[in-house]
Amino acid sequence: MPRRKKQDPREQLIEAVTTAMVNTKARNPVILDFTGMKGTICDAFVICHGSSRTQAEAIADHVIEEVKKQTGQNPWHKEGFENAEWILIDYSDVVIHIFQEERRKFYNIEQLWADAPVRKVESHD
């Protein structure tokens, strides 16, 4: 029987984040991959939005909980919980951005990093 290849810790973290997002019905989750780009501060952004403040907070809380459960990691830094319009959760190599829909449209950070490859996250629906 072939041995399973051990998963890259960054990919394991991204998988935990995206699973948590899908499980809380986050809207339009995407991964921006910076690994082939010079001068970036991290390896990836994972971005999504919720339809309300309550949902954005629930997504963020579930992401933190699932990452801890699946990888043992705690965020290095987090901010934006005060108004939950743009919640940022920083795991050093991977940074999570959880928006309310209007803020995501306004800041449009996917467009700011348009040269980064984008992976869409499929939901289980």
The phi-psi region of residue 25 (left if phi > 0; otherwise alpha if psi is between -120 and 50; otherwise beta) is left
Q: The pTM is what?
A: 0.91
**For position 40, what pLDDT does the model report?**
86
Question: In the structure encoding, which two tokens stand for residue 118, read together?
Answer: 């984008």
Task: Give the span between the Cα atoms of 18 and 15, in whole angstroms.
Answer: 5
- 49-95 per-position pLDDT tens digit: 999 999 999 999 999 999 999 999 999 999 999 999 999 999 999 99
- 16-41 per-position pLDDT tens digit: 999 999 999 999 999 999 998 888 88
φ, ψ of residue 116 in degrees (nearest 5): -85, 140
- Is 71:17 a contact under the CB 8 Å cutoff? no
Question: In the structure encoding, which two tokens stand for residue 4, read together?
Answer: 């399973």
Beta strands in 1-125 (DSSP E): 27-33, 44-50, 77-79, 86-90, 94-100, 118-120
CATH superfamily of 18-118: Beta Polymerase, domain 2 (3.30.460.10)
Q: Which of the four pLDDT bands, split at 50, 70 and 90, describes residue 122?
A: confident
Domain ranges of the chain: 18-118
